Amino acid sequence: MIDFQKSLETEKVLLRPICQEDFDEMKELTKDEKVWDYFTSNLAVKEQLFRWIQTAVEAMNNQERLAFSIIDKEHKKIIGQPVLGIFLKEISVSRLGGPGSRHRHVEPA
């Protein structure tokens, strides 16, 4: 069984489930329009970023995918958001990708 509220931590970073409160800090990380040219959403647009976070939180609540915020522990700032998603529970497979990315298939170890 997957713990959808799991946090992972090293000496330098903390990965914790994304939450709607991350929105203001994420606006700074996603503001460059050019970054989103090859993604399915333009997260530089505040409404799209808000909806992306909202969708990620809902998907975690429905146990469909994990979306983390990566926190730089020294500076206490979000530095990224990986997504582990599209769980195929019948065969224990998941896919890995960032916001709006094309997913890469990951087989269980």
Task: Report how far apart, in Å, the C-alpha atoms of 56 and of each of 9, 10, 61, 66 are.
Answer: 21, 23, 9, 8
pLDDT bracket for residue 103 (50, 70, 90): very low
* 53-81 CB burial, b ≥16 within 10 A, e <16: beebbebbeeeebbbbbbbeeeeeebeeb
DSSP strand pairing (8-9 vs 13-17): antiparallel
Q: What's 57's domain CATH number? A: 3.40.630.30
Q: State how far the Cα of 87 lies from the Cα of 66, in Å rounded to an integer.
A: 9
Assigned domain for 62 exists:
yes
Q: What is the mean pLDDT of residues 81-98?
A: 58
Q: Show the domain range for 36.
A: 8-83
* HSE (side-chain half, CA atoms, 13 Å) at 15: 12
65 pLDDT more than 90 = no
Assigned domain for 50 exists:
yes
106 pLDDT more than 60 = no
45's tokens: 């647009």
Assigned domain for 90 exists:
no
pLDDT of residue 101: 44
pLDDT of residue 109: 46
